[in-house]
Amino acid sequence: MAGGASDPRARGERAQRRADELRKRMQELTGGHPSTAGSAAQSQIRAEQAADRARLAHHAAAERHHAAGVAHLRAAAAHEQAALHADDRAADTHQDLAENHREAARRHESEARHQETLE
């Protein structure tokens, strides 16, 4: 995905350009150059872009937490199935592991809900 939103190199390059732009603007302001309608409008655009990136990041994080929760529930189900065919000691171990996975799934779902509130 060269140049795409999820390409780390492209994200890094965009972040570097934004940092360079901000550094230049700060030098202008500290050098006594006043704000203009154009620079204020550009700042507003950059702020909106930053808010959009933050929303997208929270949305992506929520999706990953949902997916991780589903994976943990599948692992719990696999351990429960294994417990049905195991001897008593191994069955107890599988049940404990299944509970650990269910707890991990609950944590991921909780974090997904939290991320969704931040979108």
What is the tens place of the pLDDT at every residue in 17-74?
Answer: 999 998 998 998 999 988 899 989 998 999 999 999 899 999 999 999 999 999 999 9
Give phi and psi for 7, each to the nearest 5.
-80, 115
- Please give the Cα distance from 76 to 97 (Å, whole number): 7
Say if CB 56 and CB 5 are below 8 A apart: yes
pLDDT at site 85: 96
Q: Residue 7: which pLDDT band, with cuts at 50, 70 and 90?
A: confident
- Going from the C-alpha of 13 to that of each of 22, 64, 73, the distances in angstroms are 14, 25, 38
Comparing CA positions, the residue from 43, 5, 2 lying closest to residue 25 is 43
